[in-house]
């Protein structure tokens, strides 16, 4: 083996065709994984370093089983790999290699000792602190309707990059275009762990914000025009924008957002989008189990029901997060149910005033300025109470008997009781 350097002959994009297909043990292993190219390339790097083929590694482990006590040859080899200074191999590359080697042995039913190849990856670089302004710039600079839709979609649903590669239109709620906050229900096979072992029965139940739904509808219509046909339920959602319009690969998702982040100067990754959603869920005080359902993680201490009533409860709570999640507009859109409530109240107030002949004396107000109290018929102030509130508190005040008297330019409203 080489202790100072290793020669890279094969790239991640070609490793399966040029190397992995030569070994049945490797192809069987890769069939069980989503990140096939990355995993195969990591195993290839380790094999190049130790100058052994995959079957030889498995044979070494088989010999261990016949010796008491076993010499743990492969485990020690993995420890040496971690301890050796290899040119061009960062800690994260070594980490991926050790994970790939352990996974390769596990799926070939020759598990390695857990202590082998142990690494402590410290978070050296701080996480990107996202802002609505930064996300809006990324969205505005997106090159096409697909990339715009991807930005709002992931920053609403928290769906992971590897899941995006296999997401189909069938995973969206039926008649999703006509639903205010469409649900996306993803089976465990598409999530981390692929439904195996402790990940059995895990599902992701998440939702699209109105702006994410808007962008997805625009992208779907644009894509159908390019394809010359309607999308079917079994079509992948995220496709390349050129013929033959194949599903976007895992690496293509990464390259896409890397280039957009570089062009805009806004640090961002798809995992940052998941943190954006999780932080917002924490802000609205959602339970940790409900947050885990939305992110597609294993729920602790319960069966994680996914019945329609449970989904509706989750949707109702998610609705509170919408004003915090949306970022494409300076002023958040008023939710549909609030618009309907306001229209009904306005019609009711108009009818009362016409019936009793009571009219308001109003004057022009500047942004952020509260109005004067309404005047009674005798010209004296009636002593009404006013508040200036944001849209997140609007429904609560309307239910308590408050009514809107003025919309401010900053997105807030003046209410009166």
pLDDT digits (tens, 9 = 90+) for 86-127: 888 888 888 889 999 999 999 998 888 888 877 765 544 566
DSSP string, 35-103: -HHHHHHHHHHHHHHHT--HHHHHHHHHHHHTSSS---HHHHHHHHHHHS--TT--HHHHHHHHHHHHH
pLDDT in tens, 229-261: 999 999 999 999 999 999 998 888 988 999 999
Residues 32-55 have a mean pLDDT of 90
410's CB contacts (< 8 A; 6+ apart) are 331, 367, 368
Q: What's the pLDDT score for residue 122?
A: 53
pLDDT at 137 over 80: yes
Residue 353 banded pLDDT, cuts 50, 70, 90:
low
**Closest by CA position to 3, among listed 70, 71, 89:** 89
Average pLDDT along the chain: 81
- As given in the structure block, the two tokens for residue 290 are 């409900």
Identify the residue whose tokens are 């100072």: 4
Q: Are 394 and 408 in contact (CB under 8 A)?
A: no
pLDDT at residue 368 above 60? no
Q: Which residues pair with 168 in a beta bridge?
A: 236
| 312 touches 179 (CB < 8 A) | no
Predicted local confidence at residue 364, as pLDDT: 45
For residue 216, CA distances in Å to 207, 223, 351 come to 13, 10, 40
Question: Which tops the pLDDT comparison, 140 or 308?
Answer: 140
**Amino acid 361: pLDDT:** 42
74 close to 98: Cβ distance less than 8 angstroms: no
Q: What is the pLDDT of residue 7?
A: 45
Better-predicted residue by pLDDT, 219 or 373: 219
pTM of the model: 0.57
- Is 142:149 a contact under the CB 8 Å cutoff? no
Q: What angle do CA 34, 38, 39 make, to 5 degrees?
A: 70
Better-scored residue on pLDDT, 404 or 143: 143
Say yes or no to pLDDT of 70 above 70. no
User: Where in the sequence of the chain do the CATH 1.10.443.10 domains occur?
Assistant: 132-325
What gap in Å lies between CA 320 and CA 73, rounded to an integer? 56
Instruction: Count how many Cα atoms sit within 13 Å of the Cα of residue 3 in the half-sphere of its side chain.
Output: 4
Rounded mean pLDDT of 188-212?
79
Is the pLDDT assigned to residue 163 strictly greater than 60?
yes
The β-bridge partners of 236 are 168
Please count the other Cβ atoms lying within 10 Å of the Cβ belonging to residue 292.
19
Write down the pLDDT at residue 358.
Answer: 45
Q: What are phi and psi of 416, to 5 degrees?
A: -135, 145
pLDDT, position 333: 53
User: For the range 31-34, what are the long-range contacts, defined as Cβ-Cβ under 8 Å and sequence gap of 24 or more?
Assistant: 32/107, 32/194, 33/103, 34/162, 34/165, 34/166, 34/194, 34/250
Angstrom distances, CA of residue 102 to CA of 5, 95, 165, 184: 22, 11, 24, 33
Q: What is the pLDDT of residue 401?
A: 79
Give residue-wise pLDDT tens across range 382-394: 556 778 877 667 7
| Strand-pair partners of 162 | none
Q: What is the rounded average pLDDT of the residues 342-369?
A: 58
pLDDT for residue 362: 42
Q: What is the pLDDT of residue 136?
A: 95
Burial class (CB in 10 A: 0-12, 13-18, 19+), 27: middle
Q: Is the pLDDT of residue 412 over 50?
A: yes
Contact 256, 249 (CB under 8 A): no
Q: Which CATH architecture does the domain made up of 132-325 adopt?
A: Orthogonal Bundle (1.10)
């Amino acid at each position: 083996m080489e202790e100072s350097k290793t020669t890279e002959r094969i790239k991640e994009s070609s490793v399966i065709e040029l190397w992995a297909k030569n070994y049945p043990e490797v192809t069987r292993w890769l069939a069980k994984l989503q990140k096939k190219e990355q995993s195969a390339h990591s195993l290839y790097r380790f094999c190049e370093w130790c100058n052994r083929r995959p079957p030889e590694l498995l044979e070494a482990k088989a010999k261990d089983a016949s010796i008491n006590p076993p010499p743990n040859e492969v485990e020690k080899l993995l420890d040496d790999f971690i301890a050796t200074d290899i040119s061009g191999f960062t800690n994260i590359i070594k980490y991926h290699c050790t994970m790939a080697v352990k996974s390769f042995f596990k799926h070939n039913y020759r598990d390695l000792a857990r202590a082998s190849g142990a690494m402590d990856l410290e978070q050296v670089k701080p996480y990107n602190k996202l802002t609505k302004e930064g996300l809006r710039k990324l969205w505005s600079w997106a090159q096409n309707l697909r990339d715009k839709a991807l930005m709002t979609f992931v920053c609403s649903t928290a769906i992971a990059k590897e899941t995006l590669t296999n997401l189909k239109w069938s995973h969206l709620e039926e008649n999703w275009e006509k639903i205010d906050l469409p649900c996306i229900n993803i089976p465990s096979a598409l999530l981390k762990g692929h439904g195996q072992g402790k990940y059995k029965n895990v599902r992701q139940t998440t939702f699209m914000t109105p702006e994410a739904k808007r962008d997805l509808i625009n992208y779907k219509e644009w894509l159908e025009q390019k394809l010359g046909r309607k999308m079917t339920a079994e079509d992948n959602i995220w496709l390349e924008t050129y013929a033959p319009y194949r599903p976007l690969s895992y690496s293509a998702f990464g390259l896409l957002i890397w280039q957009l982040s570089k062009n805009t100067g806004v640090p961002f990754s798809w995992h940052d989008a998941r943190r954006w959603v999780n932080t917002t869920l924490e802000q609205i005080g959602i339970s940790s189990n409900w947050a885990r359902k939305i992110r597609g993680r294993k729920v602790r201490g319960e069966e994680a029901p996914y019945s329609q009533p449970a989904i509706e409860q989750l949707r109702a709570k998610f609705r509170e997060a919408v004003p915090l999640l949306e970022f494409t507009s300076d002023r958040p859109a008023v939710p549909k149910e609030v618009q309907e409530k306001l229209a009904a109240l306005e019609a009711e107030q108009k009818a009362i005033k016409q019936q009793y002949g009571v009219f308001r004396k109003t004057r022009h107000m500047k942004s952020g300025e509260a109005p004067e109290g309404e005047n009674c018929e005798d010209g004296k102030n009636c002593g009404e109470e006013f508040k200036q509130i944001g849209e997140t508190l609007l429904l609560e005040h309307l239910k308590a008997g408050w009514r809107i008297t003025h919309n401010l330019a900053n997105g807030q409203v003046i209410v009166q009781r």
